[in-house]
Amino acid sequence: MQLRHTALAALCAVSLSAFAGEGQPHWSYTGKDDPTHWGELSPAFVTCKLGKNQSPVDLSSANAKGDNSVEATYPPLAYSVENNGHTIQATPTDAVKTLKLGGEAFTLKQFHFHTPSEHTFLSKYFPMEAHFVHQNERGELAVIGVMFEKGAENAALAPLLAKPLKAGEKTAIADKLDIAALFPKDQNHFRLNGSLTTPPCSEGVNWIVFKTPVEASEAQFKAMEAMIGQANNRPVQPLNARIVIEE
């Protein structure tokens, strides 16, 4: 897959282990540990409450145009799939530099799913959203967001859903997975600075959110929802003074 667009603003360094939630206090999407309380669960989570560049947001319109360089190539790779209690996450077994932002290389670390979507377009939610998390050698993160709508079965999702996984379970996909079908052919996108959408909600994450959704079947949405076990989307956050760039 090839993308060609903008040299992105520098990212602040964010720990990927923070994204994965290692060593964190318990948090959830429901009850007393839900998103409205994340910022109170630990001093490490205070940005969830006080941050000004939080994600996700509603992407109703852009207030700037961009025309720089983004290149992404995702070769077929071997992946493991796990239910980590918050989402279904696929992790490549090899470290491959798959994304270039302004000529700088980023490695695909993992991708995971939210049902329903976290970002909205004109206040509209989609049945599902995938986040492709990349990291450069300085620990900076860039995340590509892809929306899914109901349609034909998605071939790239099928291996991820083949074995229902309970929380804490992990399995390896037998064959190398080509994830090209998880990206839209029309790669116009929104770009903005934001945050992790899970605790500790660290800011300085560069978001690229595709405008065109990808199709998946209703059965695939139901299978993903059943494995995750709950709605796992953080509520939309205020945009505040951020600039949304359309490319």
Q: What is the pLDDT of residue 233?
A: 98
Count: domains in the chain? 1
Q: What is the pLDDT of residue 4?
A: 43
Structural domain contains residue 72: yes
Q: What is the pLDDT of residue 216?
A: 98
Alpha carbon distance 82, 130 (integer Å): 15
3 state DSSP class of 224:
helix
The mean pLDDT values, 10 residues at a time, for the chain of 247 residues are 41 41 81 97 98 96 74 92 98 91 88 98 97 95 97 97 96 95 92 97 95 97 97 98 92
Structural domain contains residue 163: yes
Its pTM stands at 0.91
Cβ-based neighbour number of residue 83 at 10 Å: 19
Structural domain contains residue 111: yes
Structural domain contains residue 8: no
Residue 66 CB contacts under 8 Å (≥ 6 apart), including other chains? 5, 6, 191, 245, 246, 247
Q: What is the pLDDT of residue 6?
A: 36
Structural domain contains residue 125: yes
Torsion of CA 146, 115, 17, 235, to 10 degrees: 90
Q: What is the pLDDT of residue 24?
A: 76
Residue with tokens 């206090």: 25
**Cβ atoms 183, 208 nearer than 8 A:** no
Q: What share of the chain is helix, strand, coil (3-state, %, to 5)?
A: 15, 30, 50
Q: What is the pLDDT of residue 68?
A: 60
Q: What is the pLDDT of residue 247?
A: 86
Residue 177 structural domain = 51-246
**Cβ atoms 30, 13 nearer than 8 A:** no
If you ran DSSP here, which 8-state letter would residue 120 be given? B
Structural domain contains residue 32: no
Domain of 188, CATH number, reads 3.10.200.10
Structural domain contains residue 55: yes
**Cβ atoms 154, 217 nearer than 8 A:** yes
Catalytic residue numbers read: 86
Q: What is the pLDDT of residue 23?
A: 64
Residue 76 CB contacts under 8 Å (≥ 6 apart), including other chains? 176, 177, 178
Structural domain contains residue 239: yes
Max CA distance (Å), the chain: 46
If you ran DSSP here, which 8-state letter would residue 6 be given? -
3 state DSSP class of 240:
coil
Residue 37 CB contacts under 8 Å (≥ 6 apart), including other chains? none
